[in-house]
Amino acid sequence: MFSEKALRDLIAERGVKIKSVAAAMGIEPSTLYRKMKGQLDFTRTEIQRCCEFFGLDEMNDVFFAKEVA
């Protein structure tokens, strides 16, 4: 399950804006918000681009969390 909190925490920790994350993923900020709220699913490409944007090999705690608060 996707963890909105984990992604928001990472964004805050890195001091970046939602707009920048969305651009890196190749989507509009409004689309990213919908995906974060669970209205749409993330694609494999978007997940990969997000990992590249943050310089991480994987983001399992964000995109494949075992529990969602």
CATH number of the domain that residue 13 is part of: 1.10.260.40
**Which residues of the chain are under the pLDDT cut of 70?**
67-69
Domain count, the chain: 1
Report pLDDT for 69.
53
Report pLDDT for 67.
66
- Domain span at 21: 4-62
Contact yes or no for 5/57 (Cβ under 8 A): no
Reported pTM: 0.88
Q: Has residue 15 been placed in a domain? A: yes
Report pLDDT for 1.
85
Burial 23-61 (b: 16+ CB within 10 A, else e): ebbebeeeebeebbeeeeebeeebbebbbebbeeeebee
Q: Has residue 69 been placed in a domain? A: no
Biggest CA-to-CA distance, the chain: 27
Q: Has residue 67 been placed in a domain? A: no
Q: Has residue 24 been placed in a domain? A: yes
Report pLDDT for 22.
98
Report pLDDT for 39.
95
